[in-house]
A and B are shown apart, each in its own frame.
Chain A
Amino acid sequence: MWTAIVVFTVLALALGLLLGYAGQAFKVEGDPLADKIDALLPQTQCGQCSYPGCRPYAEAIARGEADINQCPPGGEATIKALADLLGVEAKPLSAEHGVEKPKMVAWIDEQVCIGCTLCIQACPVDAILGAPKLMHTVIVDECTGCELCVAPCPVDCIYMQPLVPTLEQWRWPSPEERLAIAEESVAGSVRMDSHQHEVAKTGRAES
């Protein structure tokens, strides 16, 4: 028994010295992971993830506090990118944080706008132009569609409108989307019997 204690104490002291040294040598510096995560987030800065902006959410994920499925603007694509980065299973968007919507931009009805500047203060990316008492306009290219300017407007003159793609920006629908579109479109344009839909769905990856 005593041999055991002596031998192991010596062993532990030795290893302890080494581990202590290692522990000192390995102090983690900075958080490169949060940067990588932040780079994948859409930067809408809308706060729907329940964090005050994308960066704080990125940091929360890096700390293991937040799940990867809380950003509705990023939607499925962002979740998948995050899952790949972190080596975890992708999962559907958490319903309590919102739903994925088509890309929108704010539009200000200039007839109604009273130039109160409340929306300017709300916009996280300075996408609204205007001065006090003058009508305001949204710089479409800068607007991220975060909707944060809608609520503050005292006369409710800000509307979110779907972003219409130009010919250059247009993207082909995937065959799955095409089928979904066809399903919705006016009867007669594309006819498919129900089992064709079924089959089309079988081609789709479950996530």
Chain B
Amino acid sequence: MTEFLLIFISTVLVNNFLLVKFLGLCPFMGVSRKLETAMGMGLATTFVLTLSSVLSYLTQNYLLAPFGLEYLRTIAFIVLIAAVVNFTEMALKKASPLLHNVLGIYLPLITTNCAVLGVALLNVQEEHNLAQAAVYGFGAAVGFSLVLVLFAAMRERLAAADVPKPFAGTPIGLITASLMALAFMGFAGLVKV
């Protein structure tokens, strides 16, 4: 249990995907202008990320490894992710049209979110087992969503700020992200592995 907790804390706070590992930055910068949007994106990503973390683990260990096809990992994973995303969309539409309305537009964006493929690849690199992969994927997603939502709230406050012209928009967003990363460095050493 402690082990899972440590993995979770590590992925959410210490090695946050966005601020430390630099994965998933495009949607981070792109869909963080409004709090509501950011929440939708966070929810959708959490679901897809956790699911694809587990599925990619299975693919790696039951499809690629037995046949010695590890070198085709990237292809297998990305196709898998595309499928998962497509499916999520479909399932959502069937199960809850309301939720689909909220999340629908974000789902396609997730295919090209580095974090999803990144989690799959890192699971392999860190030699996680199934349960670890699941926690790792979930933790990464929670870390992603947390930072995304906090960032969106900050950017909303920036709307009235007197930001110098050349820095308005993306640059000041990046500066904010930078100072967030600086603050998150305070968690360094929280989990010693």
Contacts and interface: CB of A to CB of B under 8 A. Distances in A.
Greatest chain A CB density within 10 A among B30, B75, B83 is at B83
Nearest to A6: B67
A84 interface: yes
Interface stretch (A7-15, A60-68, A130-138): A7-15
A21 B68 CA distance: 31
Interface size class of B (residues with CB under 8 A): 20 to 34
A203 B63 contact: no
Interface residues on A, range: 20 to 34
A3 interface: yes
Chain A interface helix/strand/loop/mixed: helix
B1 interface: no
B45 to A, nearest CB: 16
A206 B162 contact: yes
B86 A22 contact: yes
A19 interface: yes
Contacts of A89: 33, 169
Contact of B34 (A8, A18, A84): A84
Interface of A: 3-4, 7-8, 11-12, 15, 18-19, 21-22, 25-26, 84, 87-89, 202-207
30 contacts: A4-B69, A7-B63, A7-B69, A8-B75, A8-B76, A11-B76, A12-B79, A15-B80, A15-B82, A18-B86, A18-B87, A19-B86, A21-B90, A22-B87, A25-B90, A25-B93, A26-B89, A26-B90, A26-B93, A87-B30, A87-B34, A87-B37, A204-B162, A205-B160, A205-B161, A206-B162, A206-B163, A206-B164, A206-B168, A207-B168
Given A11-B63, A18-B86, A22-B90, 13 more contacts: A3-B67, A7-B67, A11-B79, A15-B83, A18-B87, A19-B83, A26-B93, A87-B33, A88-B33, A89-B33, A89-B169, A206-B164, A207-B168
